[in-house]
Structure 1
Amino acid sequence: MFPVAVYIKSKDGAAHFHNGTLFPVPIELRDIPRLSQYAKIENTGWSAGEFGYWRYCHALPTGDLLIVPGLILADVKRPSKRYPGYSQEWSRDQIQQFAIGISSYALGVIESAQEDLNLLVHDLRALSNAIYNSALEAQSWVEKSNYTEVRKRLDNVIASQAMLKMRTDALDFVGNPASLIQDSKIHAFRKIDKVIRCFKSSALFQRKVINLNGNSFGRVKGPEIFELIPYVLIDNAIKYSPEMYPIEVSVSESDGLEFSVESYGPFISQDEQEEIFRKGVRGRSAIASGAPGSGVGLSLAKKLVEDHFSGNVRVDQEIQSDFVDGFYYHKTRFTVRMPLVA
């Protein structure tokens, strides 16, 4: 995991030792008595250990302590006890820069996790509010005996609850891909239609319309969370498309199932067309648009399509653009293909 030996002491009292993959320390510098000594280190900075081997302690942004033990420093007297094959010398600056690098990486992980959490909380709060407000409106229409309006509000509650389930399914899959249940034969068109109906209310609120074109009677084989694929692509389209621009979802089948989500969105450069499907990667123009995102959705869709439905997904974009509210938007199409089963 680390090129040099590292002892990490968590703020909750737990501790973990990782021997260096490139420069491991001998057993005499990582036995139980030595690990007990490292556990007692509280102050950051340099300290001398037994036989002239040094330790460096650095505070991580998590609140944990990173201790690099068993060091032979170039600027001090050589250790009084030597171990065969262990002679690598280090400058203080090399070790300090290593610790700073670990700190920077840990900080990046924390910030990324916090951003993902903020987006999740935002989504869950919005869905919770939608369910609550629709229920209140339904209650009001019940008192007026207008059951047509009651039905509409209850449909909104069901749609919002379905969206909530898809959001939590996505979170569960990202955290634990092994949680997938056994594959089954799925009527893909019904799942896509369900996702669109779930999105319609929130899309209209943002002055965006989703149209469904085509049909398919075939089935695909894979886990029941198939709807996460159209969910991600349609959510992406709603997030980035300007107001009053339609989102076209098309479904067809010949040699297999094909469905696409077409909308206007930020420019995707040639070098980004594969990269945006990698976890944590967002296009430069997508970031510049100001729309929130973590770069997880498209990677999730690609993983599901390729690993669980034996298909593929790609993005195509037209060069011609529309200039809306100070930003250039290009017609963008995400296309998914996967085999049908009998």
Structure 2
Amino acid sequence: MKLGRLRSVRWKTTVAATLVTALVLGLASYFIVRLVERDLEGNARSALSSALESASHSVSGEGSTDGGGEADGGQHGGEGSGESGSPGDAQQRALADASVREVEAGVDAASNALLIIVPVVVVALGLAIWWTVGRALRPVRDISAQVTEISGSTLDERVPVPASEDEIAELAALMNEMLDRLQSSSEQQRAFVADASHELRSPLSTIVAAAEIASVSPDPIKLHKLAETVSGEAQRMQLLVANLLDLARLEEDRLELDTTEVDVAAVCRDAVDRFEEEVSAISLNCPAVARADGVLSQIEQVVVNLVDNAVTHAAGRVVVTVAVDDAEVLIAVEDDGPGISPEDRERIFERFVRLDSSRARSTGGIGIGLALVKAIVDRHRGAIRVGDSTALGGACFEVTFQAATYSIHPESTPCP
């Protein structure tokens, strides 16, 4: 038998149960034999005592019947009396020997029977345990065989779930759930690598083409334009890499955030000032102070990405609103662009998603900004929602953070 089989659960369970059963039956047999021997000896002593008592009474009765003859032949009577003791002793010894032989015969018979019965029972029980455990572990062997066939390229396969509805079936179901998560993670990783490669290929191709043109063109004006092109594409790659690193850090970091009080109103004012030259009309409605618990750099990134997204898709107008109550700080960013259809309102927070696939990459962004916004909001245990703007007719993004202080704020129109 192979060493692996000797270490199996089936083998260990069978050996352990068989040894315990053999020990229990052996001790039980020993005590049973001792009890039988003691009972037989007790019965033999009782029978011997009864026989001796009966014999004693018989001898006493004969002596009293012959008592008149003792006067005439005292000497003979005395000798006869001495001689009569010998047959009684022989009878006692014979009865004792017979009792001992009966006890020994009974004990030997019981011992011989147990010597045959106990090993047979132990072997039969061991075989029954071996078969039962093997049958119970058969689904485990099937699961193990299936798991060995699953690799990184076959994560769509699943382990068989037995119909027993026991712990093994529960384990198989949990393994299938784990495989579902692994498959989903693997698919996301492959899609992420493909999208990132695609995003990097475009600026790299532009940079290579510009370098090739610059190497053969002596025109300073053309070289200046090529330098601007290369600089723009390099900045675009730098932004992409920075956003990807931020996403990776947010997903890997599971520690509590080191939060401080952040003035969201000031952050929004800075963002509006930054984009006021890129759109026809951008306005801000907010209280003097709106403090939230969070990380300043990450909240700034959320506001900047939302405003940048609104400016990119707006026809000419963007409105940023900040509102505060006892529990949370609300940031709403609205635009007068085409809006977002209800079926796309969850998908836009995925990586590298562009709702308009025909949009040029130079105007449509890199598809990371909103995914980064959602990751930061989730990390702050806030909420983000997208809907239609009732005031401007375009999209409306709402983000909430936990408020640090209470401030009076003007009324604002929420997203429907």
**More strand as a share of residues:** 1
Q: Under TM normalisation by the shorter chain, which class is it? A: 0.3 to 0.5
Length-normalised TM-score, structure 1: 0.46
**More helix as a share of residues:** 2
Length-normalised TM-score, structure 2: 0.39
